[in-house]
Structure 1
Amino acid sequence: MKAEQGPFLLLNTKEIVSRLHEWFPDAARELVVVTTRADIPSADIAAYAQRFLHLEVVPNLWELPDDELLDLARRFGVRRILSLGEREVLRAARMRAELGLPGQSLDSATAYRDKHVMKSTLAAAGIDVAPMRKFRSNDELAEFTWKVGLPVVVKELDSGASNGTVVLMDEEDLRALPERATGTPRLAEAWVEGDFYHVNGLMKDGEVVLAVPSRNLYSDWFSVAYDAPTMTGMMPDEHPLSERLRSTARQVVAALPAVPDLCAFHLELFHTADDRVVVCEIACRAGAALVTDVHEAVLGMNFYGASLLGQAGRGDHVEIRPTGERLGFVWFPPAKGVLRALPDTCPLPGTVSYRPCGDVGRLYGSCPGLGRPVAEMVFRLTEPDTGAELRRIEEWWDDNVVWEHRTNAVPERWKTPRRKPADA
């Protein structure tokens, strides 16, 4: 087989530019980088440009038309196109198809980005997903709601991190949902009541090679619609659900069109009261927030770096060096209201780091997706019940943060219960 020649084109929105030389030591000769400002200090752009064959810093990657990126790829004769962000998955696949380059195909990218295609494929493979319907009109949505009952979740077909997700709780919410004049399709799903889990890991050619299950107190939607913490903690291997979650991850990855070589994945699932594991969705990228940070601390391997090396055809360069620890993190999002008091430190045992970053006295408003937190924390887990450890952190936060005129607290229906004294 003829050896590949030419540099790589990286489309980047992540804060990893300063680390690219760890994964591509010859970056000055083989990396063409188009990136947002990411982690490049403004004063150092010229210096950073010397590190790569070519560097373009743009305010927004989506401001660049595909034609300009294709021209750039042709000008440098790139051999592969690399990306890390969820929004870049389909774009990179289209460019590969246009240029005849190896890598994730358009069919595979579509299956991982279009939620209707994804879940239809999984359902056909016998994997449990929520009842759903792609709809263009509110009449179609009402028909689906009549069949499955309320609440109903409405999503964009290609959204990420719960951006644009709406939950219709009652008939009033259904009537109030704006009709789209363009008829752009959306996805409606039956509400799934259950505990929320993640599996973060690596896949290769349609097989899972690493899977780390984690417990979450809330799905991302709660952190967008309300002020629920984005909180997750790795589960012990001996937990009864751990292997079931890994097994589901293997089934999901096997059912979808394969991503070639090594690639990170982020799988979201529910565990229901009647003991079903229901797939929410999967992404062919690393998890957001501090997912990559805590897994790198535990595994000695960075999901972003592993994905880039996999896309470059160098997946065999990735080494996993597990420490045996279990870590978790929390992003405490702003409430809608005035922040009056914020803890300076966290005294809880197991705290690895705690960083307050909110502005006391500021009036915070709504956010269309997962925004920046008012505090973040990394913690070590040691107990068999990860959920109980997470609840203790949430209780500490609730007891120590002060909001004035708060309007978006998590409703009691979904608030995680406080421990009884006997459970303390």
Structure 2
Amino acid sequence: MNQWLEWSEATIVTTRAHYVDDSSAYDRAFTRVVAVDQYTAWATELEALHAARQTGADLVLSSSEDDVLRAARIRERLGLPGQSVDSARAFRDKFVMTGTVSRAGLRTPATYRLEHPLDLLDLLDRHGRLVLKPRWGAGSEGVRILRTRAEVVALLSSGLFPVVGRSPESWLVQAFVEGEFFHVDGLMAAGTVLHCWPSRYNVGNAESVLDQQTLSSVQLDPEDAARVPLQDFTRAVISALPGPPATTSFHLEAWIERDGLATFCEVGSRTGGGGVAGVYESAFGLHLSQENLRGQAGQSAVVAEQDRLPAGIHGWTALPRGHGRFHPPETCPVEGVRYRPVLPAGAQAAGTRYAADASALVLAEGRTAAEVRQRQQEVDHWWREAGVWR
């Protein structure tokens, strides 16, 4: 990370496990390392705040979904420049986010803050199918798709919600949207899209987790009929939200419904997961995470020098975690792909926990989206036949 910025002094907050695994690399790259046991705990934000005060930090940078809002809160406490709390909340709180986009006249699913769990039964009668998700979630972790009253009753019996008398409003309910699912990735600054390109998912993120399916995506061909409408829709969404002032990466998801129009799902002010960064760099020579950090640091972006059309078509596949002990093959026999195990050999797993929760990642390229999809299908077949979980 720090090699992208070339700062003389920088502090990083990371997990103790990551630091122990590669302490020498951390010590070479950073002036100070703050190692915590549980990264998502509130104490991590407190440790980061203490470190910023002790070192007299000029800037606070974030690169992950978990850090967008808490980095903004630290900036606010210390009076530092960068993405504000209001902006960070609009890109993290799905209720605030969807409401803002809807008020701008863009199409969104019918969306409700869950005031009382029994309201799910009334909403199911009204919409037929529902999606229940955490307002501040990521990667479709914890998302439920509810199709029947029996599924709602089972959920109410599961212990998911707080006891009677306490509010469950950290949950969001949306009407289920039927359509092709896409993501649009790129760079933005001050409410303007600087560079972006859409990709088509093979399946919805929530479905990939709930059904334990392989998740993949492929960039759209330049002549794909959905390409320009999705780019235009993305520009309208980014313009509607209180965006960060500096160059920042973003990851937007949307459906194209049967009428050909786009419906908003969500957007984050950070680089998408899975193979998004690798695909974008291969296609455009832009590393989204690098430009994200450079922008937050006030350094000039290189986006103006990049082509607006991709060099070939690229896609990624997140090969899912299975059940048992991991025995990854050394190489992948499929032509035109780059294969990299994510889990170490011998690791134990108990299934996919969130979207793009991969055991291995494969990047594929080709002349067309159809050629890339064919290679992804060959990879998926090879993986299932390889017997990697035993």
Normalising to structure 1: TM-score of the pair? 0.80
Corresponding residue number in structure 2 for 1:156: 134
Pairing partner for 1:94 from 73, 87, 96: 73
Residue 180 of structure 1 pairs with residue 170 of structure 2: no
Kindly report which structure 2 residues correspond to 1:193-208, keeping only aligned pairs within 5 A, or say none.
193-208=178-193
Return the letter of the residue paired with 2:150: E
Deviations 1:359-394 (A, max 9, x none): 9999953443236434432111322xx367426633
Tell which deviates more after alignment, 136-145 or 156-165.
136-145
Q: How much has 1:46 moved relative to structure 2?
A: 4.7
Q: Distance in 2 between matches of 1:347 and 1:221?
A: 30
How many residue pairs end up in the alignment?
Answer: 378
CA contact (8 A) 2:291 2:301 kept: no
Unaligned runs of 5+ in 1: 1-16, 407-424
Q: How much has 1:97 moved relative to structure 2?
A: 1.1
Pairing partner for 1:45 from 23, 44, 47: 23
Pairing partner for 1:368 from 344, 347, 353: 353
CA contact (8 A) 2:274 2:361 kept: no
Corresponding residue number in structure 2 for 1:326: 313
Kindly report which structure 2 residues correspond to 1:222-237, keeping only aligned pairs within 5 A, or say none.
222-237=207-222
Deviations 1:197-223 (A, max 9, x none): 110000011000001111111121122
Return the letter of the residue paired with 1:219: G
Pairing partner for 1:107 from 60, 66, 86: 86
Pairing partner for 1:134 from 91, 107, 113: 113
Residue 171 of structure 1 pairs with residue 149 of structure 2: yes
Q: Distance in 2 between matches of 1:277 and 1:315?
A: 33
Q: Distance in 2 between matches of 1:194 and 1:329?
A: 21
Gap change, CA 1:66 and 1:359, over 3 Å in 2: closer
Deviations 1:304-326 (A, max 9, x none): 11111111111346675456222
Deviations 1:14-65 (A, max 9, x none): xxx4xx21x222x3x33122223687663x5256324433222333333434
Tell which deviates more after alignment, 391-400 or 212-221.
391-400
Q: How much has 1:106 moved relative to structure 2?
A: 0.9
Return the letter of the residue paired with 1:56: V
Kindly report which structure 2 residues correspond to 1:282-361, keeping only aligned pairs within 5 A, or say none.
282-316=267-301, 320-322=305-307, 324-335=311-322, 346-349=332-335, 351-355=336-340
Deviations 1:120-151 (A, max 9, x none): 111111111111111132222222222111x2
CA contact (8 A) 2:216 2:317 kept: yes
Kindly report which structure 2 residues correspond to 1:226-265, keeping only aligned pairs within 5 A, or say none.
226-265=211-250
Pairing partner for 2:5 from 2, 18, 24: 24
Deviations 1:212-244 (A, max 9, x none): 111111121122111222101111222111111
3-state SS of paired residue (2:182): strand
Q: Distance in 1 between matches of 2:53 and 2:118?
A: 47
Corresponding residue number in structure 2 for 1:33: 12
3-state SS of paired residue (2:61): strand
Kindly report which structure 2 residues correspond to 1:50-61, keeping only aligned pairs within 5 A, or say none.
50-61=28-39
Gap change, CA 1:206 and 1:391, over 3 Å in 2: same
Q: Distance in 2 between matches of 1:321 and 1:107?
A: 31
Return the letter of the residue paired with 1:107: D
CA contact (8 A) 1:341 1:403 kept: no
3-state SS of paired residue (1:104): coil
Corresponding residue number in structure 2 for 1:4: none
CA contact (8 A) 2:254 2:266 kept: yes
Unaligned runs of 5+ in 2: none
Gap change, CA 1:346 and 1:91, over 3 Å in 2: same
Q: CA RMSD in A?
A: 2.9
Gap change, CA 1:90 and 1:341, over 3 Å in 2: closer
Q: Distance in 2 between matches of 1:123 and 1:24?
A: 37
Kindly report which structure 2 residues correspond to 1:409-424, keeping only aligned pairs within 5 A, or say none.
none
